[in-house]
Structures are given as C-alpha cells and as structure tokens.
Amino acid sequence: MTVQATFAATVVDEWVRAGVTDAVLAPGSRSTPLALALHARADVRVHVHLDERSAGFYALGLGLATGNPAIVLTTSGTAAVELHPAVVEAHHAHVPLLACTADRPPELHDVGASQAIDQVHLFGRAVRWFAQPGVPDDASRGAWRSLAARAVAEARGAGGAPGPVHLNLAFREPLVGEPDALPPARPGGGPWHTVERAEPGALDVSDRVAGRRGVVVAGADAPRPPVVHGIAEALAWPLVADARSGCRVPARTTVGAFDALLRSPEFAAEHRPEVVLRLGAPLTSRVLNEWLAASGADQVLVHPRHAWLDPDRTAATVTASVTVARPVPSPPGWLDGWMEAERLAQATIASVLDAHTEPTEPGVARALLDLLPSEATLMVSSSMPVRDLEWYASPREGVRVVANRGASGIDGVVSTALGLAAGTPGRRTFALLGDLAFLHDAGGLVAAGRRDVDCTFVVVDNDGGGIFSFLPQAELVPPDAFETLFGTPHGLDLARVATAYGVPVTRLERLDELCSALDGGGVRVVHVRTDRAVNVAVHREINEAVAAALTAGRPRRGAPAA
Ligand SMILES: Cc1ncc(C[n+]2csc(CCOP(=O)(O)OP(=O)(O)O)c2C)c(N)n1
Ligand SMILES: [Mg+2]
C-alpha cells in the first residue's frame, strides 16, 4: 500500500465519476502511479503514444470528438513541455483537455537531478486552471477528490469557456504500489463538484436589423444551425457559411461561394450590407474579411462563450446570443440577388473543375466533401485545405467539419484526426491535409497500429508550402530565395513515409478515382500529387470564370430572381 497509489486511484475514480472516458499516455517512470491507476480501470480507454506532442493532439482530438476532456499524461522534463502546442490550440479553440505532468519531488529540484525542470505554470496563461497539490501524503487526503473533480469542471468551462487544465503532480518513490482504501466519495456515483450555469438571455436585435440589407456570417462555434437558419430565413438575408459552422447546408439562404463572388469588385460593391451578424469565429477568406471590414456596416459579433474574435475591430456590439423577436425581411431582391449569384458561382466552379481530369487542389476538396458518407467527420489542415473547402466546396448536410484553427498550426494534424476517430467509434473520419502538415506529425501514425481506429488521410502533396505562392512573398522575393525559404520542397515520397509506419497508401491519379479510394476502413492514406504553380493557376481560373459568369448573367441589384 502506498499513498502515491491511493492518491492516483482516487483521482482517477473522481475523473471517471466526472465523465472522463479516455486517457492518453506516453511512457515514463515518474508518472507510474497515475499510469497504473488509469490502466487498472476497465472504464477508461487508455491510448499509448511514444511522442508526447502527438499524444497531446490526440487528446485534443478526443476532446473535440466528445466534448469531454481527455487526460494526457506525461513524465517530467521535456516530455511535459511537448504538450505545449496542443495546450495552446485547446486554449484558443476552447477544447477541454486535462494535461497531467508528473514531476519530481521538491528535494530533487535545482540540484541537477535527471529530468527535473521547472514545470510550475509551464503553459503560462494558456490554461483555465493550474494546480500542483505537492507530493501526496495522508494529510492531504481530504483534498484529492475535490482536486480531480475541479480539474474536469474547469476544463469544461466552469469559469467561462472550455479549455486546457494543467495538473503538475509530484511523486516520490516508491512509484509502484497498491492503493489503500480510497477517501469517501459523493453518494450516488457523481463527482465531488459539479458546476451549474444559467444560460444568459439572448439579445433581441429586431430594431437594428428590421428591413435592412444584411448578411449573416457563420463560422466555427456559431449558434446551432437551426437557430442560424431561422434568423437568415426570417430576415431574408444571405447566410455566408463556413463548413465548420455546421450551417453550410443547402437552404434558401446559404451562400458557399462567397470568396469567388466577392473577388468581383462589382459584386462586392453592389452587395455591401448595412448590417452584419457575425456568428462564431471569423472565416479564413481574406477577401470576405476585408470586404466586411470596409463595408461600414453595423456589426454584431455573437460568440456563445464571449470570445472576442474581432481582428478588424469592427464589432459595434459583442454578445453571447441573439434573437430576432420581430423579424422584418430585407428589401425585395436583396436575397434573390445573392442567391442567383450563388447558383451561377456554384455551377461555374463545378464546370471549371469538371474540365480537369487530373486532381486539382480545389477539386479534391470539393469532391471529398461531396463524397463523404453521412455522419462522417472531416478534419482539414490549416494552409490551403481549410481554404479550398471554405471557398470551393458546395453546401451539404451530414458531415462534421473541424480544423485546428485556434492557433492555426500545421502541427499535430495526424494525431488530432486519429483522436477524433477514436472519439467517434462507428462514424468514419477523414482528414484533408497538406504534405508539410502530414510530415510534421507523421510520427503520429505510430499510434495508428495500436488501436482499432478508422481514419482516411487525403494528403495533397504539392512538395512544399503551397499557400506561400498566394502571398506577396511570391512576387517580391527572388524565385530561388522564395523556393528555399517558403516553398520548402522536401522531395520525399510520402507513400514510402506512410508505408514505413505500416499504413497502406492509394495513389490518386484522376479525380474520378476518389470515390473508390475512400472505400474501406482502418487507417489509410490517399496520396494526391499536385503542383504549386498549377494550383495558383487553377484558383485564378475559377475566380476569373466566376467573375465572367457574373458579368454575363448577373441580375441587377433589386431585380427579382429569374
Ligand atoms: C506549426 C506551424 N509551423 C509553421 C506554420 C506556418 N505555415 C503555415 S502554412 C505552412 C505550409 C503548409 O504546407 P502544407 O501543409 O503542405 O499545405 P499547403 O500550403 O501546401 O496547402 C506553414 C509552414 C504554421 N502555421 N504552423
Ligand atoms: Mg503542401
């Protein structure tokens, strides 16, 4: 019997009572009491990773999938530091996560003991709560259940938004032992603490929106789709929706092709709104965001957790929830003008992409979303995949789209997707990612063989960072320097990389092979070779074709739909 083992078993018992189901562990000695306590519970799924950075993102993926914090446990030293990227992403993206770092006891600090570093407030202000209870002893027994229950409650957003919590847990040897009787728990199986929060009332914006030309913009963390569609429908406003909002489904008001549309100066000028309801996180489209910022419109920013997501500083009002109690629709022709343009743009995008038999990057994004089975989850990496999906995919129902856009890193994508897959058994998971994002976390594939997860990675391989070809650097930096510093070709055969991890690979030569390439379960890679210069040309081709279609068929403002 050891006090360390009793502490660890108590904490794990409390986590289970609070609803925790998954723990992600990386091997190490100092974390032994907790590792053994987690392993001893049949009601906790334990996922073992070799690399703590991947472990952190895998736990993030589990949290995204379930809304519950997953435990991620490391030993001390640099192992603990490796969690930082996932903690930062969880902080910005409001994903519950319980980061537990094992630590050496105080007498081993500052004396050159192995793997002893300062882990106090290791993740700075990126955590909702930090606690270090000290080496467990019998005197602290009465605090153990509270500590564990509060950690889960804080991660779920007791103090506001969900996010990461850091417990720094010092253990003294012996590290292996059996637990004694646990301190008494709450009767009835519940956790020591629960947090009850009253929902705030919604702000009624009826007077501000009545009869005006407005736009609803919905990003990640927008209110529930029926609420958003209800507002757009009642006001007869276009709903500019990113797939991550869940609102980008076919409807009388849904506009998916806004990026291409707003690249047309005439369209952008003629469709300037008077009022904008911005729901959730900003979209990635710079064209959209600049158009909104320059519009001079009255803007209401709505975020259910009061996140201040206003990079252009244009929100006149910030609130958690809106309602329109007395809806007065926009003037005749306002919505029709948008929707006619949307139909033209979608048809044009489809016909441009259909003319390319070889896979193009926008074509893969559009076809992939179209082809996914119902109830699938799609993760998209930062850089061009998230943009191609936002700009060129057509609206559809029944797919959950997620991206690590809290801090917009290209790290941890493989592991986040595998964590999402592990957290949604019975639903298929797909990831659309760039070659650099894939290579960055290729080590995350080690976990693929260890669990029965279903995840198909569609890797768009343009041999480097394709996004930089769209930035001013591409014009202003001499080509050789641009290629060395930004293009960063690696010349690796990604199929061989995946195969080395035991992951089967399908090479996609033609876009029409995508449907069959997506068949089958387990962890797989679909490898798509593209070219960065061709990709710039394809984007230009689509955008010019949409502008031309608008010029040819554009209804004048105020005109009813054809
Ligand atoms: C961790 C991290 N490092 C660097 C960056 C900067 N960055 C943004 S996009 C990008 C290139 C990504 O390349 P790839 O994944 O191949 O996608 P592509 O641009 O080709 O679509 C880089 C390096 C970042 N966002 N995150
Ligand atoms: Mg790339």
Give the residues across from 166 on adjacent strands.
Answer: 99, 130
Domain chopping of the chain, boundaries: 3-176, 203-338, 361-529
DSSP H/E element including 287: helix 286-294
Sheet holding 399-402, edge to edge: 399-402, 376-380, 429-434, 455-461, 523-529, 505-508
DSSP H/E element including 316: strand 315-319
Q: Rounded to whole angstroms, how far apart are CA atoms 404 and 225?
A: 21
Q: Which single residue is written with the structure tokens 């919590």?
A: 165
Question: 425 CA to middle of ligand 1, Å?
Answer: 29
**Binding site membership of 61 for ligand 1 (Cβ less than 6 Å):** no
Shortest-distance Cα residue to atom 26 of ligand 1 = 409
**Binding site membership of 383 for ligand 1 (Cβ less than 6 Å):** yes
**Binding site membership of 435 for ligand 1 (Cβ less than 6 Å):** yes
- List the structure tokens of 6: 């009793």
Whose CA is closest to 189, among 156, 149, 161?
149
Whose CA is closest to 11, among 68, 73, 56?
73
First to last CA, the chain: 80
Question: 382 CA to middle of ligand 1, Å?
Answer: 7
* Ligand in closest contact with the CA of 432: 1
What pLDDT is stored for residue 450 in this prediction?
A: 63
Answer CATH for 203-338 from 1.10.4190.10, 3.90.850.10, 3.40.50.1220, 2.30.110.10: 3.40.50.1220
Shortest-distance Cα residue to atom 25 of ligand 1 = 409
Residue 464 CA, closest ligand 1 atom number: 16
Shortest-distance Cα residue to atom 11 of ligand 1 = 465
DSSP H/E element including 47: strand 45-48
Task: Enter the CATH code of domain 3-176.
Answer: 3.40.50.970
Residue 381 CA, closest ligand 1 atom number: 15
Give the residues across from 17 on adjacent strands.
Answer: none
DSSP 8-state class, residue 341: H
**Binding site membership of 423 for ligand 1 (Cβ less than 6 Å):** no
Chunked mean pLDDT (size 10), the chain, 562 residues: 96 98 98 98 96 98 97 98 98 98 96 95 98 97 98 94 98 96 97 88 96 98 96 98 97 98 97 98 98 98 94 96 97 98 97 96 98 97 98 97 98 98 95 98 87 91 98 96 97 97 96 95 96 98 97 57 38
**Binding site membership of 412 for ligand 1 (Cβ less than 6 Å):** no
Pocket test for ligand 1, best of 364, 436, 531 (most atoms within 8 A of CB): 436
Question: 110 CA to middle of ligand 1, Å?
Answer: 38
DSSP 75-86: -STHHHHTTHHH
- List the structure tokens of 440: 């960055």
Asked if domains 3-176 and 203-338 share a fold, the reply is: yes
**Binding site membership of 406 for ligand 1 (Cβ less than 6 Å):** no
Architecture of the CATH domain 361-529: 3-Layer(aba) Sandwich (3.40)
What pLDDT is stored for residue 520 in this prediction?
A: 86
Question: 482 CA to middle of ligand 1, Å?
Answer: 15
What pLDDT is stored for residue 159 in this prediction?
A: 78
Pocket test for ligand 1, best of 87, 410, 490 (most atoms within 8 A of CB): 410
Residue 437 CA, closest ligand 1 atom number: 15
